Amino acid sequence: MPSNIENANISAIKLGTVDMTKGYIGHEEVYPNTREIQSAAYTNTSTLSSSGGTRLFRVTGDLGTTYNLTGSAAGSYTLASSPYDHSVSVGANTGCSSPARTITTTLTPTGNTVLQGGGSTFSSSFTQSASPNLEQYYNFNVSVSLTVTTSVTTTYNGTLFFTNGTVYNVSYSGNNNSPSSFTISSGGLGSGSYSNVTGSLSLNGSFISSTVGPGAFSGSWTRTVSGHPAPGLSFLRAYLNINNATASNPCDNVTGGNNGPGGNYSSNVYP
């Protein structure tokens, strides 16, 4: 004789190939089988060093549960063993003045997977320390001056120009009050040869430059204008440039200068 289960509460039944974990048959709704994730969180949520490291995001639940992770360890997954640890590698946070940052991973169930407690996501995070490398700014208080020692001039359309044969001398000084070394270069308007290069900078081919460490620096050089196209130069000017990109500590920067950070011009000298 067939059994009447129209209003019976059942704990498990298989209809065709569908497993039922609970439900009612007859006048009540039947729910399909679900799998559950009990927890998902980092096993260690203490502050991570700014140098970086590895943390484990642990998922515990029924085998076969499916889920997506966003944030660190992002991807789509099926739980093949429980608990399962996702290894999350965190890079160094050592940029200049980089603030502390939060590393977060969020689990969202997919398919017929549900979360214990009925929520929609599990989320877990930890903090990585701020960078120990602070951005630093220094003013080297550079001085650049130019003096014409031999003046050769010509007039063109009523304007006086320095021309070939003019000789000028440049003096510079400053103080590298940072802990870094920098490449410093100097030069002046016009074509022609450099000579009498003394002090902190050296003549390197056709360039005057050197790496200058902490401490005061100074020097001078001479230029003889030659091979310059007519009519010549309406004024003379020299420069001294401190290249921030060459700092031995990339977090050290030179400010100041009348041509922007690290760039310094002498006053214009007219015929």
Total count of residues recorded for the chain:
271
Domain 35-128 has CATH 1.10.3470: no
Q: Are 216 and 173 in contact (CB under 8 A)?
A: yes
Question: For position 10, what pLDDT does the model report?
Answer: 34
Kind plus residue range of the DSSP H or E element containing 10: strand 9-10
The pLDDT assigned to 32 comes to 56
Domains in the chain: boundaries: 35-128, 136-265
Query: How many angstroms separate the CA atoms of 15 and 27, rounded?
Result: 16
pLDDT of residue 35: 96
- Nearest Cα residue to 208 out of 166, 175, 241: 241
pLDDT of 41: 98
Q: What pLDDT was estimated at residue 136?
A: 97
Task: Report, as ranges of residue numbers, the positions in the chain whose pLDDT lies below 50.
Answer: 1-31
Name the nearest CA neighbour of 251 among 161, 136, 141: 136
Which residues have a Cβ under 8 Å from the Cβ of 93 and sit 6 or more positions away?
50, 52, 100, 101, 128, 129, 130, 131
Q: pLDDT of 228-255, one tens digit each?
A: 999 999 999 999 999 999 999 999 999 9
Write down the pLDDT at residue 11: 33
